[in-house]
Amino acid sequence: MSALEQQLPLTRRMLLGGLGGACCAGITGTAQARIRPADMKPLVTPGHRPSDKDEQGLWQQYGRVEEEISGSNLLVEDPALTAYLGQIAERTGGPAARDLRVYLARIPEFNAFMAPTGFMVVFSGLLLRMRDEAQLSGVIAHEGGHFLRRHQIRAWRDTKRKTAALTFLAMGAGVGGAASGVYAGDLVRLAHLGTILSLFSYSRELEAEADAMGLRQLAEAGYDPAAMAETWQQLIEETQASAAMRNKRWKRGYSLLATHPAPEERMVDLRASAREVTSPRTAERGRDRYLAAIAAHRKGWLDDQVKLNDPGASLYLIRNLAHDGWNGLLRYHEGEVWRLRGQKGDSALAGQSYAAAVTLPEAPPEAWRAHGQQLLREGRSGEGKAALQRYLSLAPNAPDAAMVRHALGQ
Amino acid sequence: MKGAALILLSAGALALGGCVQTKQRADLEFAPPQGDYSLMVMRPDVTVGSLTAGGMVEPRADWTEQARANLLRALAEQQSGRGGKTQILERREGVSGVDAETVANLERLHNAVGSSIALHKYMGATLPTKRRQGLDWTLGEDAVKFGRATGMDYALFLHAEDSFASSGRAALQVIGLAGCIIGFCAPVSGGGQSAYASLVDLRTGEVVWFNVLQTSSQLPGVRFGDIRSPEGAAQMVERLLGRMKAGRNVRERQ
């Protein structure tokens, strides 16, 4: 959903997909002066409705988009969790508190986007990576910041103005050039590039604004503002871990064609800004509340992540979550990462993880199955069978229960 | 002065042009519905916008609403002359026999299939497996179930886009044309229509007939339709649905 993927031609698709969907996932970019949270004032009032023709058109289009999204079968059906996300949006939404809506889509990616009409879509991959409510609230406050600062319509107007100027310049150069006999094609191409670069630079400026605005809202709601920089720290480290395991060099990224500021700069700016808004009343992390809210889904989302076959990223994020303590669920999925990678020695590593998983609380029944199969492979038939028995007793109706029973000779 | 303008205009019309195009595709065995049939016209997907100087379409809520209402009226008018029993959906709710979610799902399914037809039958990405076979696409069992639940024989899907040159865009068109005098002709599109209609036989689930309409003009002030007006909407409906041709096998037997 990033504007980078659909650079030109500038069409309505760009309005819908690129500019409208201001997302939070980082794509590298260039330097931008830091925007101070204190300078960010919301530009909307409660119950904001568009009054200009262009914004009305944008809202109508997004009304249709929301109609489709709200009926999508990708949405996570959990009214309690959806309500929980809505409460966070309300708490960090400032004047837009009652105008924000959150949809949770089951997509194993770190991403979220805000629509100009006040609804945002958060991906399950983002929730999986968050360690507590403060981190999640940071992302939601950032997205809400796009709405508070009216970014989509401002970006659209900026695009409209710059492309119009360019088109007139090109036409003028053509007609003028024909009249005077001077070829102005190179000049036009240069101006074209300048326009594109300026559009992307504006997009990065708006992202920096959303960071500052979001940080201000986060602190006002009483959350620890350091949480936002942590999210970026985690994202950077995960990207590095992913590249390292694939034996690829992590692209440090210096690109003029980026919609978002570079993650490191963002992190540095966010740290500096966080210090400005930190006070004794900004200490809330809400870890237990957060874990309880996502408890029913963590296993499914970990499965989704492991199946992406990105072992570096998966191991990083599992271990990052384990900073708050290992449990059977995290250990089991650690084993699954090794098993799926399947290189020399991985099987033994997987076996160690499974063996550890079954000794810990929150071990899923599948951990017993994996542990049992691993033991059978190692020739420890008695222990292996006992573990498989344990799997059957924990999950008697599992889809593969009959097969496991058969293998046990029952 | 008038004469010069006319020469410029006709020269422009020859060199640059603007046009109205429709192209029908049908199942080889398709025979246009006649007599005692029932047809459900699904909620039309309409967008009308203003073409900015830079060439982007800026959606306009008021024009879109106006055009949607006009198209619904024009569809009712056009169908009333055909003899069948027609139900036109203005929204997804309130269809007897199915809930709004089922209607939405059929629309989404058709959206995917319709895009595929547009890509492979109209935009040149021809599939070797579907060459010379007329229209060979289906919505499958879901459409048949939908037909059974609603008691309808056919479903018609309509998608329409229209755009109008903003004042900045019109100025560009004028400069582009004026440039012809000194040898720099730069025709600029002033917006236009892009629409399709798709007929699904709910007894088999197959897309039996498809038509695409495109209009464009590079001459400032010249247009080939405007669905913001009742006449323009009727014209679009007529262009899309007016002369439904039978499939090739049926035509050859006649």
- ipTM score assigned to the predicted complex: 0.78
> Picking from A390-404, B49-63, B68-82, B176-190, which range would have the lowest pLDDT averaged per residue?
B176-190
Residues 6+ apart with CB under 8 A from B53: A160, A163, A164, A167, A168, B166, B168, B169, B171, B172
CA dihedral A274, A275, A277, A279 (to 10 degrees): 120
What is the least distance, in Å, from the CA of B53 to any CA of chain A?
5
Is pLDDT at B11 greater than 60 in this prediction?
Answer: no
Inter-residue contact A199 to A158 (CB < 8 Å): yes
Tell me the C-alpha distance between A68 and A73, whole Å.
10
Interface test with A, best of B68, B115, B142, B184 (most A CBs within 10 A): B184
Smallest Cα distance from A281 to chain B, Å = 45
Q: How do strand A101-105 and strand A119-123 relate by DSSP bridges?
A: parallel
Contact in structure between A141 and A214 (CB atoms under 8 Å) = yes
Q: Which is nearest to B35 in space by CA: B79, B76, B84?
A: B84
Mean pLDDT of all residues in B52-78: 91
**Residue A6 class from Cβ within 10 Å (0-12 exposed, 13-18 middle, 19+ buried)?**
middle
Contact criterion met (CB < 8 Å) for B101 and A10: no
Interval B98-116 mean pLDDT: 92
Q: What are the chain A neighbours of B183 within 8 Å (beta carbons)? A: 178
What local confidence, expressed as pLDDT, does residue A28 receive? Answer: 38
Q: Is B221 on the interface with A (CB under 8 A)?
A: no
Residue B60: closest C-alpha in chain A: A57
A vs B: CB pairs below 8 A: 89
Residues of chain A positioned with their CB less than 8 A from the CB of B58: 15, 54, 57, 156, 160
Three-class secondary structure assignment of A109-137: CCCEEECCCCEEEEEHHHHHHCCCHHHHH
Asked whether the beta carbons of residue A163 and residue B175 sit closer than 8 angstroms, the reply is no
Which chain A residue shows the shortest CA-CA distance from B102? Answer: A71
Q: Do B58 and A68 touch (CB under 8 A)?
A: no
Q: Which of A103-117, A326-340, B89-103, B127-141 has the highest mean pLDDT?
A: A326-340
- The strand pair at B154-165 and B192-201 is best described as antiparallel
The Cα–Cα gap between A189 and A192 comes to 5
Residues of B in contact with A175 (CB under 8 A): 175, 178-179, 182, 184, 186
A254/A292 Cα distance (integer angstroms): 40
Residue type, A376: L
Task: Say yes or no: B49 contacts chain A, CB-CB below 8 A.
Answer: yes
User: Per the CB < 8 Å rule, is B172 touching A160?
Assistant: no
Contacts of B54 in chain A (CB under 8 A): 10, 159-160, 162-164, 166-167
Chain A environment of B176 (Cβ under 8 Å): 171
Interchain CB contact of B238 with A (< 8 Å): no
Element (H, E) at B213: strand B206-217
Contact A335, A348 (CB under 8 A): no
**Where on the phi/psi map is residue A76: left (φ > 0), alpha (ψ -120 to 50), or beta?**
beta
Mean pLDDT of B60-76: 94
**Residue bearing tokens 């570096």:** A312
Minimum-distance CB partner of B179 among A15, A162, A178: A178
| C-beta of residue A102 within 8 angstroms of C-beta of residue A315 | no
Given a contact cutoff of 8 angstroms between Cβ atoms, the answer to whether A153 and A55 are in contact is yes
**Residue among A11, A71, A166 minimizing CB distance to B57:** A11
Cβ-in-10-Å burial (0-12, 13-18, 19+) of A285 comes to: middle
Contact call for B179 and A53, based on CB within 8 A: no
Nearest CA in chain A to B59: A57
- Residue B232 structure tokens: 């323009």
- Are A178 and B57 a contacting pair at CB < 8 A? no
Which whole-number Å values give the CA distances from A89 to A64, A80, A100, A316, A406, in the listed order? 22, 14, 6, 28, 51
CA distances from B36 to A274, B69, B86, B88 (A): 71, 27, 11, 17
Q: What is the CA radius of gyration of chain B?
A: 20
B181 touches chain A (CB under 8 A): no
Radius of gyration for chain A, computed over Cα atoms and rounded to the nearest angstrom: 25
Q: Could you say which of B55, B101, B175 has the minimum Cβ distance to residue A163?
A: B55
Mean pLDDT by 10 residues, chain A (410 residues): 34 38 40 84 94 92 90 92 97 96 94 92 96 97 95 89 82 73 68 69 86 96 96 91 83 61 84 93 94 96 96 97 96 97 95 97 96 94 95 96 88
Cβ <8 Å between B56 and A60: no
Task: List, as one string, the DSSP characters of A261-322.
Answer: --HHHHHHHHHHHHHHH--TT--B--HHHHHHHHTTTHHHHHHHHHTT--HHHHHHHHHHHG
Angle of helix A226-245 relative to helix A185-220, nearest 10 degrees, comes to 120
**B181 contacts in chain A (CB < 8 Å):** none
| Mean pLDDT within B240-247 | 90
Minimum Cα–Cα distance from A63: chain B residue: B61
The sign of the dihedral angle between the CA atoms of B174, B180, B184, B188 is positive
Closest approach of chain B CAs to the CA of A165, in angstroms?
8
User: B4 pLDDT exceeds 50?
Assistant: no
Q: How far is B132 from chain A (nearest CA, A)?
A: 33
Q: Is A167 in contact with B60 (Cβ distance < 8 A)?
A: no
Mean pLDDT of chain B: 86
Pairwise CB contact (< 8 Å): A166 & B54: yes
Residue A372 in 3-state DSSP? helix
Separation of alpha carbons A367 and A386, rounded Å:
13
CB B135 within 8 A of CB B248: no
Contact A364, A332 (CB under 8 A): yes
Q: Which residues of A touch B (CB under 8 A)?
A: 9-12, 14-15, 53-54, 56-61, 67-68, 71, 156, 159-160, 162-164, 166-168, 171-172, 174-175, 177-179
Q: Using CB atoms, pick whichever of A10, A68, A175 lies closest to residue B56.
A: A10
CB distance A72 to A123 below 8 Å = no
CA-to-CA distance for A137 and A92, rounded, in angstroms? Answer: 7
Pick from B55, B59, B101: CB nearest A61:
B59
Tell me the shortest Cα–Cα distance from B64 to chain A, in angstroms.
Answer: 9
- Look up residue B227 and give its amino acid: I
* Surface-to-core class of residue A346, CB atoms within 10 Å of its CB (0-12 exposed, 13-18 middle, 19+ buried): middle
Nearest to B54 among A71, A160, A179 (CB): A160
Q: Which of B53, B183, B188 has its CB closest to that of A178?
A: B183
Residue A150's nearest CA partner among A197, A120, A118 is A118
Which chain B residues are within 8 Å of A167, Cβ to Cβ? 53-55, 172
Distances (CA, A) of A217 to A98, A198, A280, A316, B49: 14, 29, 16, 29, 36
Q: Tell me which residue in B49, B62, B184 faces A175 most closely, judged by beta carbons.
A: B184
Distance between CA B199 and CA B21 in Å, rounded? 19
